[in-house]
Structure 1
Amino acid sequence: MRPDKLSIHDLFQRERRYTVPLYQRAYVWNEGEQWEPLWDDIQRQAEECLATDAGVPRRTHFLGAVVLNVQKIVGGSVARSEVIDGQQRLTTLQLFIGALRDFLATIQSTYTNKVRRLTINQDEPFGSESSFKVWPTNADRDLFRSVMMSGSPDSLLKQHGLIQKSELPRLIGAYCYFYHQIDAFVAKSGADQAAQDRQILGLFQALRSGLQLVVIELEDNDDPQIIFETLNARGQPLLPSDLIRNTIFHQASVDPTHASDEKYADGLYDRFWHPFDNDRLDTPINGEDRYWHVQERQGRLSRPRIDLFIFHFLVMQTGRELAIGHIFQEFRDWRDISAQPLESLLHELRRYSAIFRQLMSPTSDDRPSMFARRLRALDTSTVYPFLLYILGLPVDLLTKSDRDQIICDLESWFIRRLVCQLTNKNYNRFFVSLLSKVKQTTLSAPVALDDSETNNNLKTCTSQVIVNTVRDELLRSTEATARWPKDDEFEASWLEKDIYAKSRPDRAVMLLRAINAKMMDNKNETVILPDNLSVEHILPQQGALLDYPYPDESISIGADAPEIRRARIIHTIGNLTLLTVALNSAISNGPFIDKRPKIASNSALRLNTIFQDQDRNKWSEIDIFDRGRDLFTYAKIIWPHRGP
């Protein structure tokens, strides 16, 4: 390796392209952690340049290291270096220089051309890939080109239909941030052109002499992938999925069977990995607009969706319990013993990612999508590897109706255990074991070669065997860690155990929405429920005893004191319903005699038709038990027990 110390100006004034390999991650730097500190460094160095007669700061500022792999020059093309480490830094510096260039053009500064030369290779066709000093990884190329050719923030935002106050894609956000910081820095000098040029000179001198990088160029015997993995902990840590992508596409780029095809790795990326980096959300979530990089909570930690997908995919493939903190190592170990061709692996990742996306963000009304929505409230992800496998089976092995039967059985097992407050401690082990048994069933199934009646019967038999395998496993255990509660245990818990918890009201919402849907029949209009319905305690948690007196002792339930009975029953399903937030706030702790008619006149839910009874003018523990039993008749149908 050959190290050198270069200023930002010296690095970019050369006719050279700094290209980021497609196997590296997309741009991830943000304002708080990187843009603002970088701007502080630039501004401080600019002010130091202005404070000296020579226009040079007393000491230079080191911005970090960049590792480059110099590529051989082909024909008359511009010299090219592959960025092994430091791509986030180089991309950000180009965005800053691009913003400075466009600002200078706007005020017609004499420094415009000097700065422009730091952003383009002038001998290359303008706007071509080779004309850009920095050319980012595939996921960012279109947006980067758009930013660097926009001319101004207003033009850029208009082009993409964005407004300044919205959450911007990071490349656009960085450009706009630096443009406005430059504008404010120059504006401090007032409207005088000479004074403005002096401020600009400070920025230019900071690039020429105040800000430096250590640039390390690899030599022929240096392995760029090993060096990249060694350095990946610097800066913002790489995601496990970043390292996996790097490994996959580095293997593709050095595949000897495709040595003559320079675009082989790019082609694989475009066909299979591009959506992981480029599927965008209309509305960013916490500043992230890439679907697969949105953080999802799993247990106590939050992780990007792509990391979660690859983790569950690996559990499905290996049939083993894996540590989510070791995804990359597990992937590498699995690939070392796998004979699956690279293209086949990428095809499988793409296929199963579509299934996983429907589990995470269901858009259909089919049975798996309904279960996926309810799983979000259950906050149980250990079943995902099993679901990926089941939902990925071809109809020749598992028919749609049998697939839905498995989903129904699984949901019943989960819901009954939730209501009965049974532990989920060993769910990961249970579902890995279940996955293994179903895999054995499918791998040993005879193959149907045609559509003859015999083979169609063979397909049906195999499908039913899978259903029975799953059901037998759900029924097998009598232990608290895995048993499937029967009707008597389910009903007792339904009537007596708290289903509402302030920390997880979504679980009560999920159950009540399911009951309401089951209560609908062909005589009812179709009502699409809003997403933000809230749980209402009919007998309020803070209700006055005058408004909600204890029931007559002669007909009271249980032997406990009245206040203990009330505390025991107030969070059970019989006392809960769903209302809009506005209606809930309006009636929450009021007397039942006022609450009932307001619910009756404002709610269209079948769940609330009980409150249309004008003769019902009180609500107590007796009513809660009676309503709980009524709702349980629907619960038994939605979540049936399939055993003896």
Structure 2
Amino acid sequence: MVIAKETTLQELLEGSKQYRVPLYQRTYSWGEAQLKRLWDDVEKLADDRQHDQTATHFIGSVVLAPSPGLGPVGVQEYLVVDGQQRLTTLTLLLCAIRDHRQATEGGDHRQRLDELFLTNKYRPAAERPKVVPTQADRPAYEAVLDATPQAGGPDRVGAAYRYFRSQLVRVDDADDPLDVDRIEGAVIRGLSLVSVTAQPGDNAYRIFESLNNTGLALKQGDLLRNYLFMRLPTAGERVYNGVWLPLQQALSSDDLELLFWLDLVRKDSRIKQTEIYEQQQRRLERLTMETEIEAEVARFARLGRLLRSVLDPEQEHDPSVRRRLQRLKDWGTTTVYPLALHLLDLRERGQTDSAAVAQALLVVESFLVRRLLIGRATANINRVLLDVVPSLDENLPVDEAVHRYLSSGRKYFARDDDVRAALQTVPFYLNGRAPQRALLLRWVEETYHNREPVQGDRLTIEHVLPQTLTESWLEVLSEDAGENEEPEDLHRELLHTLGNLTLTGYNSPLGNKPFAVKRTTLQTSGVAMTRDIASQERWGRPEILARADRLADRICAYWPAPLAGVRSAGEPAWDVLEAAVAALPAGSWTSYLDLAALIGSHQVPVGQRVANHEMPNAHRVRKSSGAVPPGFRWNDPDRDDDPTEMLRQEGVPVDEQGRADQSRRMRVDELAVLVGLDPAELPDAVPDLGEEDEAASRFQEQLYSAHEPPVAKAVLSVLAAWQDMGGVLAYGSADETTAFLMVDERDIRHGGVWPAAIYPSGKFEVVFQWMQYRPPFDDVALREALRQRLNAVPGVNLPAVKLAMRPGFEVTLLAEGRSQERLLEALAWFRGTATAVRSAP
């Protein structure tokens, strides 16, 4: 049962009382926004009370419970179950009023306010403050209460006190001797609260839990901490100071919550982070003795020390384990944390050693690396990694148990022959996350044991065979193309494979220069894998495939393969292929070559798969030329639809030879978007921006190296016009320096909307893919309106089917005066639409 009544601060604080904030409460956290809101209310109330002394202002409730130490005589002690932020702030305001009046008016203001509202004057030191904050806030609060030189420090308690002191100085009018007195009266007698008091025998923590377990007021970790100390009525102070406080100082609030979750998923991988409090409480409720709860706090503290090594590998004492932990941290997959913590815990308890821990972590690293190489980086990865600890065979050494688990079942732990095959065909540059791709190349570079290691964080990925073909590169590919092969198709087949990629640290990217020119620069590289390329006389299909084989040898020698005798993970990703075909929107088509590149296979087995397995949209898969392949047949023998006529009815233009319009073709990178191969890379803001001046210079340099002066000048003219209409420019920091057309300064680094990116190699890219997540262009009607305006530009044809993609056109169009004029009209409409929404009330 609880008793609720309306009260004032005067009634709440007068008399011999003490309000203690229990250990399970969070620390003081009010910032300037909350302080300003309270002060504004006080100022207005003080003004209102000049005309009506009965005026009040309600500021919320305070929930109290009798302290277990409450006796028949002496100070009445209460636990502040809820409302400690409000109560602490009000007493800090009274301290500020006390000190201001003492400094400006003299007299007995300090003694008066202390004795009436802030202290129990004649009580022992522990009972003297009327309000006692939680442990971490007490030194700062006592400094303010006692007006010591340390009062008003940099912490939040000190900041609140300083804020009120400054506001009192601001409002104190020398010609009005009663203005601060009115402020004091408003605070003490005018602010209205509801005091809710539990009765002896009520469970104070249950009341607190019901008020705060909404997922809004407190985090899961906060609730669990509070529960633990509610279960420590006599040992709480000692355990808090000796065990909990060091843990809380070592780990952030988020990291503590992570610790509580990792502790659970080591036993049951299905537990979600939103269930931390519920599941931990259910486990702890089985413990009946205070000593058992104390042991749990000590266990959490021990695991917390180990977690610090997982989160910050520099804390790890063993060099081999430290290296493996750092690599997994760099990889960025947090679902390895349960295993990493478990391994360190086993070592701490003497059940394994550092060598076995390092080897187990190397196997996990190999598992991640090999999956990325075969194009299966994300397939069920979280579930596999979270299941490691609960699934380990406790009868085996831990490194062998981890190896056996990851090698069993269909987990896509690629064998050596799978890796070799994948490096020939899989578009590595389109798989996984961009940081992981660059990281893997840096790790491969480390296997060369270069005497002068290069700075890895300064290296970027370079396509040796460039992304934009020139006449010289077409000539090279034409020499390598076989019968019925086009050099453009060969380019798409080889471009993103690992054999064609390397690392460079040059300020200016090599772009699409001929290999003879690139080779001269590559020869001077400090990167061993890059110098290996420079040793070649030419760079075409044979050289790219041969380098892929050399890299495969190096990779297979360094990263352990799965244990022998397990099921092969090298089967083509037919599920990805079928998902891509099913996702093809009406009005589009794709080729067998694009699908083969998507899954790291070849056109022949892809064609056989499409022909022999029932799947929706099979008529949208064609030869690279856009024609129906000879001998096309439906999987259903009773079906005789004309696939070309079906495409026509869906809106795809088809020429007299039956070839589908290439602008409607979904290329391999667009297929990747359709099936969500890399959803984690969807940016919240413009990605990887460089320093503006330097990046702008790089952009112009690359632009002039790739195009004739009239085209380069036309591009710069468009950028200048965008700025003239109020837009701003941002530049990327990747190897090819992209120019982003941003609506205004707020968009840079803050996830705003932008219409396009211009690549100096030659593409004006319309970023419908990013727009669909950003207002107001998350409205498909607005994206369609933009598409139609852009299609009014002579030479531009953006299909409606690509409203969720990043279609584009060649920047050479901008050299035509009419095209540039119509483009700028479309861009001005885009910016006007975006800014109109922002300025709307």
Q: Secondary structure at the match of 2:205?
A: helix
**Structure 2 residue 369 is matched with structure 1 residue 415:** yes
CA distance in structure 2 between the aligned counterparts of 1:643 and 1:484, rounded to whole angstroms:
10
What is the CA-CA distance between 1:507 and the residue it aligns to? 0.8
Partner of 1:271: 242
Partner of 1:472: 404
Partner of 2:283: 334
Contact 1:121 1:133 in 2 (8 A): yes
Partner of 2:20: 19
Q: What pairs with 1:580-599 in structure 2 (closer than 5 Å)?
A: 583-584=506-507, 586-587=508-509, 589=511, 591=513
Contact 1:120 1:133 in 2 (8 A): yes
**Structure 2 residue 218 is matched with structure 1 residue 247:** no
Q: Secondary structure at the match of 1:551?
A: helix
Give the counterpart letter for 2:135 in structure 1.
Answer: N
CA distance in structure 1 between the aligned counterparts of 2:483 and 2:325, rounded to whole angstroms:
38
What is the CA-CA distance between 1:409 and the residue it aligns to? 1.5
Partner of 1:187: 170
CA distance in structure 2 between the aligned counterparts of 1:231 and 1:149, rounded to whole angstroms:
33
CA distance in structure 1 between the aligned counterparts of 2:326 and 2:474, rounded to whole angstroms:
38
Q: What pairs with 1:355-366 in structure 2 (closer than 5 Å)?
A: 355-363=306-314, 364=316, 366=319
Give the counterpart letter for 2:264 in structure 1.
Answer: L
Give the counterpart letter for 1:387 in structure 2.
Answer: A
Q: Secondary structure at the match of 2:274?
A: helix
Residues 234-257 of structure 1, C-alpha deviations (whole Å, 9 max, x = no match): 79521112221222221121xxxx
Q: What pairs with 1:426-441 in structure 2 (closer than 5 Å)?
A: 426-427=380-381, 429-431=383-385, 434-438=388-392, 440-441=394-395
Partner of 2:5: 4
Which runs of 5 or more residues in structure 1 are unaligned? 158-168, 254-261, 280-290, 294-303, 442-461
What is the CA-CA distance between 1:600 and the residue it aligns to? 6.9
Residues 169-225 of structure 1, C-alpha deviations (whole Å, 9 max, x = no match): 544554454444x15xx5367xx5234x54423432321233221112221131112
Give the counterpart letter for 2:248 in structure 1.
Answer: D
Partner of 1:533: 458
Contact 2:151 2:158 in 1 (8 A): no
Residue of 206, 222, 225 corresponding to 2:186:
206
Partner of 2:421: 492
TM-score by length of 2: 0.58
Contact 2:321 2:354 in 1 (8 A): no
Give the counterpart letter for 1:533 in structure 2.
Answer: R
Partner of 1:43: 40
CA distance in structure 2 between the aligned counterparts of 1:558 and 1:422, rounded to whole angstroms:
32
What is the CA-CA distance between 1:136 and the residue it aligns to? 2.2
CA distance in structure 2 between the aligned counterparts of 1:622 and 1:112, rounded to whole angstroms:
91
Distance 1:155 1:490, change over 3 A: same
CA distance in structure 1 between the aligned counterparts of 2:116 and 2:214, rounded to whole angstroms:
26
Q: Secondary structure at the match of 2:136?
A: helix
Partner of 2:478: 553
CA distance in structure 2 between the aligned counterparts of 1:65 and 1:155, rounded to whole angstroms:
25
Residues 447-499 of structure 1, C-alpha deviations (whole Å, 9 max, x = no match): xxxxxxxxxxxxxxx63xx433332222222x2xx132111222333343344
Partner of 1:457: none
Partner of 1:285: none
Partner of 1:456: none
Partner of 1:309: 259
Give the counterpart letter for 2:246 in structure 1.
Answer: P
Higher mean C-alpha deviation, range 356-365 or range 501-510: 501-510
Q: What pairs with 1:4-403 in structure 2 (closer than 5 Å)?
A: 4-29=5-30, 31=31, 35-54=32-51, 56=53, 58-73=55-70, 78-102=75-99, 107=104, 113=110, 120-121=118-119, 123=121, 130-145=127-142, 156-157=153-154, 169-180=155-166, 182=167, 186-187=169-170, 192-195=173-176, 197-233=177-213, 236-253=216-233, 262=234, 264-279=235-250, 291-293=251-253, 304-316=254-266, 318-337=267-286, 341-363=292-314, 364=316, 366-376=319-329, 378-394=331-347, 396-403=350-357
Partner of 1:446: none
CA distance in structure 2 between the aligned counterparts of 1:235 and 1:315, rounded to whole angstroms:
20
Partner of 2:572: none
Distance 1:52 1:19, change over 3 A: closer
TM-score by length of 1: 0.74
Give the counterpart letter for 2:359 in structure 1.
Answer: Q
Give the counterpart letter for 1:489 in structure 2.
Answer: D
What is the CA-CA distance between 1:427 and the residue it aligns to? 4.5
CA distance in structure 2 between the aligned counterparts of 1:146 and 1:541, rounded to whole angstroms:
66
Which runs of 5 or more residues in structure 2 are unaligned? 565-841
CA distance in structure 1 between the aligned counterparts of 2:191 and 2:466, rounded to whole angstroms:
63
Give the counterpart letter for 2:406 in structure 1.
Answer: L
CA distance in structure 2 between the aligned counterparts of 1:118 and 1:334, rounded to whole angstroms:
46
Higher mean C-alpha deviation, range 548-557 or range 144-153: 144-153
Partner of 1:640: 560
Distance 1:412 1:227, change over 3 A: same
CA distance in structure 2 between the aligned counterparts of 1:20 and 1:499, rounded to whole angstroms:
57
CA distance in structure 2 between the aligned counterparts of 1:315 and 1:412, rounded to whole angstroms:
23
Partner of 1:283: none
Aligned residues: 556
CA distance in structure 2 between the aligned counterparts of 1:493 and 1:335, rounded to whole angstroms:
49
CA distance in structure 1 between the aligned counterparts of 2:144 and 2:275, rounded to whole angstroms:
36
Partner of 2:676: none
Percentage of pairs with the same residue? 22
Contact 1:556 1:622 in 2 (8 A): no
Residues 77-119 of structure 1, C-alpha deviations (whole Å, 9 max, x = no match): 7443211112222233334444455555565677953555677
Partner of 1:296: none
Q: Secondary structure at the match of 1:156?
A: coil
Contact 1:416 1:484 in 2 (8 A): yes
